[in-house]
Amino acid sequence: MESCHLKDSTMEARPIVTSKQKVEVVCGVPTQVVCTAFSSHILVVVTQYGKMGTLVSLEPSVVANDICKPAISTRVLLGQDEPLIHVFAKNLVTFVSQEAGNRPILLALALKDKSVEGVRALKEVIRSCQVW
Amino acid sequence: MEGLPAPGSGDISLHNFSVRLWEQLVHFHVMRLTDSLFLWVGAAPNLRNLAVAMCNRYDSIPVSTSLLGDTSDTTSNCLAQRLARKTKKQVFVSYNLQNTDSNFTLLIENRIKEEMETFPEKF
């Protein structure tokens, strides 16, 4: 049903953005992760409330640097701008940006469980939704 | 159609569709969350801007703000507002087409509304 044998039917056109989705229980909390690849950004949604929650933009620095990986700056676009959200954001998706050729990340984060183990486990769920 | 999308179950649903308008193939990508919606519109897979709109009790026009990209381009804002009013949800919109002519965006909006009527569970 998903094939595009009907070439002229716009209904059947192949999607140009790819998404991967996982529903998993992380440290006892039902969690949903959706990763969507755009050419300019990767959108990562990590939610334990079913909502977008806080929206954070992560931008790798554009300054060429041969010695180490580019520094990533975080900016809260929507929601409460508290220090912890920046820490979570960097911990969760810095690797995504790096693996995606230093692409900026848009992260939607709504967490109930804010433990270190939780973040570690979430990272693995994000990795399993690799679209980059 | 597919399983039981139990109402209120917070499962995120993803939905893609497209339309050919004015010789251009326009793609749509919808992510339905609890009480909110993320909609991307584009011909190429980039994400140049993002706006959000939501209903409020003080005004019949939903409030909206630009979150990412060129703030002088209000197309995403307007579309988010109109969809927020229709769905009563928090709506994120990323409109990535060169053509921001109002006649054209109206066709885009109509295509979205048509899809909403066909697949209400996806929005």
Predicted confidence at residue B2, as pLDDT, reads 42
Predicted confidence at residue A68, as pLDDT, reads 73
Chain A residues with CB under 8 Å of B90 CB are 51-52
Yes or no, beta carbons of B18 and A10 under 8 Å apart: yes
Nearest CA in chain A to B15: A15
Please indicate, yes or no, if residue A6 is contained in any of the structural domains: no
Predicted confidence at residue B93, as pLDDT, reads 98
| Tokens standing for residue A51 | 């909502």
Of the listed ranges A10-14, A43-47, B60-64, the one predicted with least confidence: A10-14
What CA–CA distance (Å, rounded) separates A76 from A54? 7
Q: Express each pLDDT in B76-87 by its tens digit.
A: 999 999 999 999
Yes or no, beta carbons of A77 and B50 under 8 Å apart: yes
Q: Express each pLDDT in A33-69 by its tens digit.
A: 999 999 999 999 999 999 999 999 999 987 766 677 7
What's domain B13-118's architecture? 2-Layer Sandwich (3.30)
| Structural domain that includes position A85 | 19-129
Chain A residues with CB under 8 Å of B27 CB are 13, 15-17
| Tokens standing for residue A48 | 């334990």
Of the listed ranges A25-29, A61-65, B32-36, B59-63, the one predicted with least confidence: A61-65
Rounded to an integer, the average pLDDT of A109-123 is: 94
Positive/negative CA dihedral, A5, A6, A11, A13: positive
Give which of A24, A36, A57, A105 to mutate to test B binding, by max B Cβ within 10 Å.
A36
Distance from the B67 Cα atom to the nearest Cα atom in chain A, whole angstroms: 6
Positive/negative CA dihedral, A65, A103, B79, A110: negative
**What ipTM score was computed for the predicted complex, to two decimals?**
0.87
Please indicate, yes or no, if residue A86 is contained in any of the structural domains: yes
CATH code, domain with A36: 3.30.230.90
Nearest CA in chain A to B13: A21
Chain B residues at the A interface, defined by Cβ less than 8 Å, are 10-12, 14, 16-20, 25, 27, 29, 31, 33-36, 38, 40, 42, 44-48, 50, 52, 65, 67-68, 90, 92
Which residues, at least 6 apart from B97, have a Cβ–Cβ distance to it below 8 Å? B24, B26, B41, B42, B43, B104, B108
What CA–CA distance (Å, rounded) separates B42 from B64? 20
Please indicate, yes or no, if residue A5 is contained in any of the structural domains: no
Query: How many independent structural domains does chain A possess?
Result: 1
Distance from the A59 Cα atom to the nearest Cα atom in chain B, whole angstroms: 12
Predicted confidence at residue A26, as pLDDT, reads 94
Nearest CA in chain A to B10: A50
Yes or no, beta carbons of A16 and B90 under 8 Å apart: no
